[in-house]
Amino acid sequence: MAKKKKKHPGHYCRICGNYLPNEKFTGKGHARHICKSCQSLPQEVQADMRRCNEVERAAFKYPMSRQDWELLEKYAQKYKDMESGQFAQDMLDMKRGNYKPEEDTEEDALLDEIYEEEKIPFADLEDDIRYELEELLEDNINEFMIHKDYIPEGKDLKEIKEWVIKEVHDAFFIQVVPDTSYNNLVDRIIRRLVKEWEEDGMEIKKKNTTL
């Protein structure tokens, strides 16, 4: 039996990056996605925490775009004396590989043959894996909408969908093949999130209407 879809309680704070109960937000803070605790912080601290969240999203996106790399490099140089700058530099060092990976052994090659990854269409996934994939999709699409203030489409949506497939591959060692069911799920998630935003009194637009 498929697991029931869970919904994050409360609202997302774009400063500390946490989901918090409604009572942790003022009316104005609710609309701006800033909790009471973060509202009380100095503006420079709020800004640095927000940059840390941006660094984390960029560094763990797959694949990273040119803009993601540029953001890390910019923050590492411009804010090198602050936590966000140091975090950005750490992520750059990790991504660029300041360590030499171990060479594959014959045993590793044998294991790769034994545990050759399985390719499965999304529609044929087991319920528990399908549930985890749906959770990842909804979390990433919702966070994109919060931080970008528009609905992901085109290249933006393609990157989210590919990143989720990659995460599922790393977790379950299977290659999910996107199919019509997968694309339909993405569409349903976006429609559901847009409806929830509207019910909460918040407006979300398409990218071309925000320019």
Per-residue pLDDT tens for 84-105?
999 999 988 887 765 344 455 5
121 bridge partner residues: 177
Contact at 8 Å (CB) between 145 and 196?
no
Region 186-196 average pLDDT: 92
Contact at 8 Å (CB) between 52 and 72?
no
Q: Where are the domains of the chain?
A: 104-211
Whole-angstrom distance, CA of residue 161 vs CA of residue 144: 12
Q: Which residue has the tokens 């498929």?
A: 2
Whole-angstrom distance, CA of residue 180 vs CA of residue 117: 22
Cβ atoms within 10 Å, residue 132: 17
User: For residue 56, is pLDDT > 80?
Assistant: yes
pTM of the prediction? 0.50
User: For residue 62, is pLDDT > 70?
Assistant: no
> Higher pLDDT residue, 148 or 11?
148
Calculate what percentage of the chain has a pLDDT beyond 90: 25
List Cβ neighbours of 134 (8 Å cut-off, separation of 6 or more): 5, 185, 189
